[in-house]
Amino acid sequence: MEGPVFLRRKITLPRACALLIAAMVGSGIFVAPKGVLRHSGSVGLSLVVWLACGLLSLLGALCYAELGTRITKSGGHYTYLLETLGPLPSFLFLWAEYFAISAVVCLTFGRYILEPFFAPCPTPVPAVKIAALLGFYSVLALNGWSVSWSARLQSVLSVIKLTALALIIGPGTVLLAQGHTENFQEAFGHSAQALDKLPLALYAGMFAYSGWCQTSFVREELVRPERTVPLSVTASVLTVIVGYMLTNLSYYTVLTAEEVLASEAVAVSFAQRACPGLSSLVPILVALACFGSMNGGILGFSRTLFVASREGQWPPLFAMIHIRRRTPLPAVLLMFPLVTAMVCVGDVYPLLTFFSFSRWLFIGLATLGLMLHRRRHPQLPRPFKVPLVVPAIFSILCFLTVGLSLYADPVNISIGCATVLSGFPIYYLVVRRPAPARCPLPTRCPSVLYYLTVKLQQLLEVVGQEIRTY
């Protein structure tokens, strides 16, 4: 073991941009077009939804950029809720997010990586899930092995993702310039019939942009974060907005609305129609894009668990670092069992709606907390600041979308709400550590947990952080 054990600052501005782009350009742009179109009802309104989701994400990214320069801890949503609204909202987010570790990206990876081998027949569902799990386990092992290699992989995959978008945008733009606009005739024809489902269309679109907060999870590992955070989020989100709009225009130039809704893999259907010679390459590029999103998701959420353990809201083992690899190995490994279960029993579109509810509820609360934090701590340095109207508008839109979605899809949203509410008894019975007389746990539990922690610490070769990085 060389030197003290702590998480090093190894993520530079280019790596931060690559991390954000790789997190955003994942399964969303290849899965969400079908969901956005289904719930918006028309091509025209679906394009409006894509633009609105991009602008909304930009507002949220700017709010998080200010939070990331004001609050010096990693952990993203969890840390911002803890520092602005208190321990209960932060724990409820952690609880809901652990149950909402999305299997959507894993399943999309499995579907696209196998598409060339089974086309034109449908890919068997068990094969998709096996491929999804193999991809997830590979990324899990990489994140447990090295932070530097994970960051380098994101840089390479961000280039591959932009290449995949370029292969879709190029042919579509050429056809559009040649006058192929027949699929845009009566673009808003059925919009009025689908307004009650509009929140679900927004959920699908916002899922595609959802990686804009990725740098907030690794704040303590950023080089010059007061500069890196605002520059990386602004450049990356604007790049992705332009890329997504051009990609959707290309989809609809080549495919009719009916063909998009009927397709299980929109990008593959596009390639088969627009450039048959590349139809076998596009699924591989899409699968690699999903692979990058899985990598970014593990990198981010493992840091959330790490910080939560450091704050005393999660078992202390998960705030430990491998003595040689300098990675939060226990926090990374904790994602293994639940994602495995979610992939085995889940399907893409119900999971997308189920997960989006809790995520956007807590993001809205975090930006609301930004306004309260400004009022309570005016003396804190603010290297980056957004106008107060930005977090106000963003919070209102988040809460409005969450509220309307309960009407649009009461079953899945109720399940998401119940998942969040189930964290209340856990918080009050376990996290707050009630007095021994009222404690429902057996008296031997603390000593047993301590024994297990020590044994797992020895097995995994991990120790607590030795240098404060915030």
Query: Which pLDDT does position 100 carry in this prediction?
Result: 58
Q: What confidence tier does 104 reach under pLDDT thresholds 50, 70, 90?
A: low
What mean pLDDT do residues 20-42 have?
79
Mean per-residue pLDDT, 116-127: 76
Asked whether residue 6 is domain-assigned, the answer is: no
Q: Do 200 and 353 form a contact (C-beta atoms < 8 A)?
A: yes
**pLDDT reading at 438 higher than 50:** no
Tell me, yes or no, whether 2 lies in a domain.
no
Q: pLDDT category, 365, cuts 50, 70, 90?
A: very high
Question: Could you give the CA distance from residue 417 to residue 86 in angstroms, rounded to a whole number?
Answer: 20
Span 239-252, average pLDDT: 92
The verdict on residue 8 lying in a domain is: no
- Residue of 374, 401, 396 lying closest to 387 (CA atoms): 374
CA distance 296 to 293: 5
| Residue 469 lies inside a defined structural domain of this protein | no
pLDDT greater at residue 228 or residue 40: 228
As a whole number of angstroms, the distance between CA 415 and CA 99 comes to 11
pLDDT-wise least confident of 120-134, 290-304, 335-349, 369-383? 335-349
Query: Is it the case that residue 361 has pLDDT exceeding 50?
Result: yes
CA proximity to 469, closest of 305, 307, 296? 307
Convert the pLDDT of each residue in 177-225 to its tens digit: 888 888 888 777 665 555 667 777 887 788 788 878 888 888 888 988 9
Residue 1: inside a domain, yes or no?
Answer: no
Q: With 60 as the cut, is the pLDDT of residue 414 above it?
A: yes
CATH number, domain of 281, equals: 1.20.1740.10
Q: Return the ∠ at Cα 390 (arms to 376 and 364), rounded to 5°.
A: 75
Determine the pLDDT at residue 10.
80
Asked whether residue 3 is domain-assigned, the answer is no
- Identify the residue with better confidence: 355 or 313: 313
Model pLDDT, residue 193 = 55
Confidence of residue 84 (pLDDT cuts 50, 70, 90): very high
Lowest mean pLDDT segment, chosen from 9-13, 321-325, 351-355, 368-372: 351-355
Could you give the number of structural domains in the chain? 1
Find the range with the poorest average confidence among 50-64, 317-331, 351-365. Answer: 351-365
Instruction: Report the percentage of the chain scoring pLDDT > 90.
Output: 18
pLDDT category at 290 given cuts 50, 70, 90 is confident
- Which pLDDT does position 167 carry in this prediction? 85
Average pLDDT score, the chain: 82
> What pLDDT shows up at residue 439?
44
pLDDT tops 90 at residue 12: no
pLDDT at 72 over 90: no
Domain hosting 192: range is: 13-464
Of 46-55, 56-65, 400-409, the poorest mean pLDDT is in 400-409
For residue 347, being part of any structural domain is answered with yes
Q: Is residue 2 very low, low, confident or very high in pLDDT (cuts 50, 70, 90)?
A: low
* pLDDT beyond 80 at 170: yes
In a domain, 37, yes or no: yes
**pLDDT tens digits, one per residue of 375-413:** 898 888 878 899 999 999 999 988 988 887 777 678 777
Among 104-108, 314-318, 427-431, name the one with the lowest average pLDDT. 104-108
Average the pLDDT over 422-447 and give the result.
65
Q: What percent of the chain has pLDDT over 70?
A: 89
